[in-house]
Amino acid sequence: MKNPFALIPEWVICVDSDNRVLENHAVIVDGATISAIVPWPEAHDHYPQIDLVELPGQALIPGLVNAHTHLAMNLLRGFADDIPLMPWLSEHIWPAEGRHVDPQFVEDGTRLAIAESLRGGVTCFNDMYFFPDTVARVAGEIGIRASVGLITLDFPSAWAGNADEYLRKGLELFEDTRDNALITCMLAPHAPYTVSAETLGKIRKLSDQLGMGVHIHLHETAGEVEQYLQTHGIRPIAKMAELDLLNTRLAAVHMTQLTDDEIATFANCGASVLHCPESNLKLASGTAPVAAMIDAGVNVGIGTDGAASNNDLDMFGEMRSAALSGKDKAGDAAALPAEQILRMASINGAKAIGLDAITGSIEEGKQADLAVVNFNRLELQPVYNPVSHIVYSANRYDISNVWVAGKQMLHNGEHLCFDESALIDNARSWGVRIRSGTV
Amino acid sequence: MKNPFALIPEWVICVDSDNRVLENHAVIVDGATISAIVPWPEAHDHYPQIDLVELPGQALIPGLVNAHTHLAMNLLRGFADDIPLMPWLSEHIWPAEGRHVDPQFVEDGTRLAIAESLRGGVTCFNDMYFFPDTVARVAGEIGIRASVGLITLDFPSAWAGNADEYLRKGLELFEDTRDNALITCMLAPHAPYTVSAETLGKIRKLSDQLGMGVHIHLHETAGEVEQYLQTHGIRPIAKMAELDLLNTRLAAVHMTQLTDDEIATFANCGASVLHCPESNLKLASGTAPVAAMIDAGVNVGIGTDGAASNNDLDMFGEMRSAALSGKDKAGDAAALPAEQILRMASINGAKAIGLDAITGSIEEGKQADLAVVNFNRLELQPVYNPVSHIVYSANRYDISNVWVAGKQMLHNGEHLCFDESALIDNARSWGVRIRSGTV
């Protein structure tokens, strides 16, 4: 298809500040940008030569933002299930990672995960994993928008030997990707229980100097908070406050264990929360008080977490789980209505990672990061409210078309940028090696 | 395809008493029946002429049992969302039903719902709705296994004017369907708050005389239990015990509000529970203590409830939600492992409605009610444990093939028994009428 082109869906679900849902409108894409949203067919005379993409019975939505994930862990999808967080990590996931994680594992896992993401309507992800240079390179090659975490730990891994080496390699990557329109970086200390206060202090200085966001796991389980309190005499969030890390650049993942004061603190400092409902439920970590946070004014995005703990990168399933578990937690069926949930899966996630000026909603001047949900199935009839349908009835296989920065990535459910059977064969061969425990 | 035939999947997930998962086996279907499960290709010589259905990379599972639904409400899918149970019913659903429910509404809604069910791997459902004679006729015409609820209320509807008329018409239907191998009936008093103790007493006598099961909504919300207690001086379950309705023929839906004694009572009397996690979460009704019930020995099946409160008939989504919300409720990631959840969605549901001798598992001599999950997608790679994959990673569109009583209903994801575009057109025209509020 030539660029510019006009998308003419049944519904344009803008996810702008007014939550507008437009009918009889076209979205004009020019280069990488949404250049106009116009009444249609009235405005057709202004675009006499433009290519038309007619999408009857389909809804155009902002490309979804998976605000917290570990993409390469796709190769460990379903490797160990029905086990609590700490034994799951220490007895299953960490040993497998120790045996297998290297640049090839990260490249192959990330590629599989990006293919899964795009077909499910995700056009932007916020990752945290080893070998972030590989993640950035693969994302750039494919052409998906990526916020790459400059992972930092106080213990060695195949990627780096100590905290200073993690930071040095991370800053090199930051420099290398500064001119890439699709790739941004966040500082990514794993968690307060794996990164010392000294290292967190260095990260705070870098964040201030470079204006970089900070992406960290925080208050995931009651046990983690309790153990930190016993060891350090202070709750992790209070330690983060001491270190001056609670500000608009912070994106804190999980946050299932919160006092009312901690919710107010987050609202006041303008930090964001990245909510991973399915991972938290599956690991029985607790449930984040999402409705209370949103009522207090906290910006909350949604992430799938890695496929090892979820077991997919399905933002449709995650939206549904966020709505259902959020209503249950609030004890209120009116809490977290569908419009709010869709915001969390798009513009709120973009805001949390500092990209809300360019993606996460359908507005003139923003990047053309777009997905189409095809309602022309008996499973989705009748349609009373397309937003409710996206959250409560549709699933990721209902995505028909996807564009990132104006470039089409998916057409009628088929990938334009992947050899799917090669991806499947590659993942199967990893599965055989990982199952056998050999390197 | 000729009958008999041999299904040769990568995995046969039997859901028998040993939860066997077989590789290198064939399932032989002869007429309506599973005649043998044999090692393959070793046993090929015993079946020299048989048609082979080779299913590499795919898993054969028992057809799923949707143990509680209101199929015809598919026409109200997404009609009103994000509203608590009582205003949702009294201000939205009941008025719409009052305007629209008639035999044509039930026929068209049920047909749409059966098409949705079959494509999602459901081969048997347990329904409760007005005009059960229409539900039974449509199910029989299409050829899906159905447990039809003989709905009973103390207030009038388009179907009957008073409790005695509901029961009389229900018993006529029971007589009319006695010779139909696919259709069974259950007495279906709506709930203790809509059906008097006198009527429930009549239903208990009919259940005893005819050996019929009783399908009822029970302890759905805290408000309902509290109001019943205030009005009658007793909790609904205690009233059911007084009326001698707590026995192996009872299938109680929802059950979110339970004391430990009530759980023990259910375990001791052998009654079943039909768990509808997504409906309960979406209406913020509370969460059934499923792990505690199963630990106590209660038989728990899974239902989607109607599409007006869910908003689909997706047993894959329901399995996932049952696992996730059940672990959260129990505070234990090891609670309700995938094998248990799959049992709930198949053999346990069959047991609750009295059909476990003929459906709900893959065993020699049982009816060939079967579904195939196709794992040959990048979203489902790699595969470490096919049962975990079904619960945590697959979705309903991964179903490729379905048979009911040996008759193929779905082939490579395509319906063999429906004109899909006609179904969609019909549902859309209902949507227009219902949205406009006209009859």
Per-residue model confidence as pLDDT tens digits over B366-375? 999 999 999 9
From chain B residues 400-419, the ones with a CB under 8 A of any chain A CB are 418
**pLDDT single digits (tens) B7-29:** 999 999 999 999 999 999 999 99
When pLDDT is averaged across residues A385-410 and rounded to a whole number, the result is: 98
Nearest CA in chain A to B88: A333
Q: List the single residue in B78, B116, B330 with the smallest CB-CB distance to A385.
A: B78
From chain B residues 113-152, the ones with a CB under 8 A of any chain A CB are 115-116, 119-120
Which SS3 state, helix, strand or coil, does residue B297 take?
coil
The values of phi and psi at residue B317, to 5°, are -60, -40
Is B377 at the interface with chain A, CB within 8 A? yes
pLDDT(B431) > 90: yes
Length of chain B: 439
Contact B384 A75 (CB under 8 A): no
| pLDDT, position B438 | 58
Is B323 at the interface with chain A, CB within 8 A? yes
Compute the distance between CA of residue A109 and CA of residue B92 in angstroms, rounded to an integer. Answer: 47
Contact A379 B282 (CB under 8 A): no
From A77's Cα to the closest Cα of chain B, the distance in A is 7
Is B284 at the interface with chain A, CB within 8 A? yes
Is residue B353 within 8 Å of residue B126, measured between CB atoms? Answer: yes
| pLDDT, position B3 | 83
**pLDDT single digits (tens) B159-218:** 999 999 999 999 999 999 999 999 999 999 999 999 999 999 999 999 999 999 999 999
B139-153 in b/e form (b: 16+ CB < 10 A) is bbebbbbbbbbbbbb
Contact B324 A112 (CB under 8 A): no
Contact B324 A278 (CB under 8 A): yes
Nearest CA in chain B to A424: B378
Contact B338 A81 (CB under 8 A): yes
| pLDDT, position A3 | 83
From A307's Cα to the closest Cα of chain B, the distance in A is 9
Tokens read off for B140? 């029989």
Nearest CA in chain B to A120: B379
The amino acid sitting at A134 is T
Is A281 at the interface with chain B, CB within 8 A? yes
When pLDDT is averaged across residues A300-309 and rounded to a whole number, the result is: 96
Determine what percent of chain B is predicted with pLDDT higher than 90.
Answer: 97
Q: List the single residue in A314, A333, A376 with the smallest CB-CB distance to B282.
A: A333
Q: List the single residue in A75, A284, A385 with the smallest CB-CB distance to B333.
A: A284
| pLDDT, position A438 | 58
Contact A317 B320 (CB under 8 A): yes
Is residue B345 within 8 Å of residue B315, measured between CB atoms? Answer: yes
Distances (CA, A) of A355 to A145, A181, A367, A423, B229: 10, 11, 10, 30, 54
Contact A397 B392 (CB under 8 A): no
Nearest CA in chain A to B419: A378
Determine what percent of chain A is predicted with pLDDT higher than 90.
Answer: 97
Distances (CA, A) of A149 to A133, A134, A331: 10, 11, 35
| pLDDT, position A130 | 98
When pLDDT is averaged across residues B226-232 and rounded to a whole number, the result is: 97
Tokens read off for B144? 């899906």
**pLDDT single digits (tens) A318-366:** 999 999 999 999 999 999 999 999 999 999 999 999 999 999 999 999 9
**pLDDT single digits (tens) B49-90:** 999 999 999 999 999 999 999 999 999 999 999 998 889 989
Residues of B in contact with A105 (CB under 8 A): none
Is B283 at the interface with chain A, CB within 8 A? yes
- Domains of chain B are 5-62+367-405 (2.30.40.10), 64-352 (3.20.20.140)
Is B340 at the interface with chain A, CB within 8 A? no
When pLDDT is averaged across residues A104-127 and rounded to a whole number, the result is: 98
Nearest CA in chain A to B116: A379
Contact B435 A384 (CB under 8 A): yes
From A116's Cα to the closest Cα of chain B, the distance in A is 6
Nearest CA in chain A to B278: A324
Nearest CA in chain B to A119: B379
pLDDT(A439) > 70: no
pLDDT(A97) > 60: yes
Distances (CA, A) of A157 to A4, A13, A130, B158: 46, 43, 8, 69
> CB-based burial of residue B98 (10 Å sphere; 0-12 exposed, 13-18 middle, 19+ buried)?
exposed
Compute the distance between CA of residue A425 and CA of residue A427 in angstroms, rounded to an integer. Answer: 6
Is B21 at the interface with chain A, CB within 8 A? no
Q: List the single residue in B321, B382, B432 with the smallest CB-CB distance to A324.
A: B321
**Interface confidence (ipTM) of the complex:** 0.97
> CB-based burial of residue A437 (10 Å sphere; 0-12 exposed, 13-18 middle, 19+ buried)?
exposed
Using alpha carbons only, how large is chain A's radius of gyration in Å?
21
Contact A428 B85 (CB under 8 A): no
Contact B427 A396 (CB under 8 A): no
Residues of B in contact with A393 (CB under 8 A): 77-78, 307, 311-312
Is B77 at the interface with chain A, CB within 8 A? yes
Work out the pLDDT band at B2, boundaries 50, 70, 90.
Answer: confident
Which SS3 state, helix, strand or coil, does residue B310 take?
coil
Contact B338 A283 (CB under 8 A): no
Is A282 at the interface with chain B, CB within 8 A? yes
Contact B282 A331 (CB under 8 A): no
H-state helical runs in B143-259: 163-176, 197-210, 222-232, 236-242
Helix (H) or strand (E) holding B287, with range, is: none
The strand pair at A64-69 and A272-275 is best described as unpaired
Residues of B in contact with A325 (CB under 8 A): 281, 324-325, 328
Work out the pLDDT band at A2, boundaries 50, 70, 90.
Answer: confident
pLDDT(B1) > 70: no
Contact B381 A282 (CB under 8 A): no
| pLDDT, position B411 | 98
Is B430 at the interface with chain A, CB within 8 A? yes
From A385's Cα to the closest Cα of chain B, the distance in A is 7
Contact A384 B79 (CB under 8 A): yes
Looking at every residue in chain B, the average pLDDT score rounds to 97
H-state helical runs in A337-402: 338-344, 347-352, 386-392
Q: Quick one: angle between helices B103-119 and B132-142, nearest 10?
A: 40
Residues of B in contact with A397 (CB under 8 A): 395, 397
Nearest CA in chain B to A391: B311
Instruction: Give me the torsion for CA of B76, B81, B87, B90, rounded to 10°.
Output: -10
| pLDDT, position B86 | 85
Is B383 at the interface with chain A, CB within 8 A? yes
A-to-B residue pairs, Cβ atoms closer than 8 angstroms: 216
| pLDDT, position A433 | 95
Beta strands in A276-391 (DSSP E): 299-302, 370-374
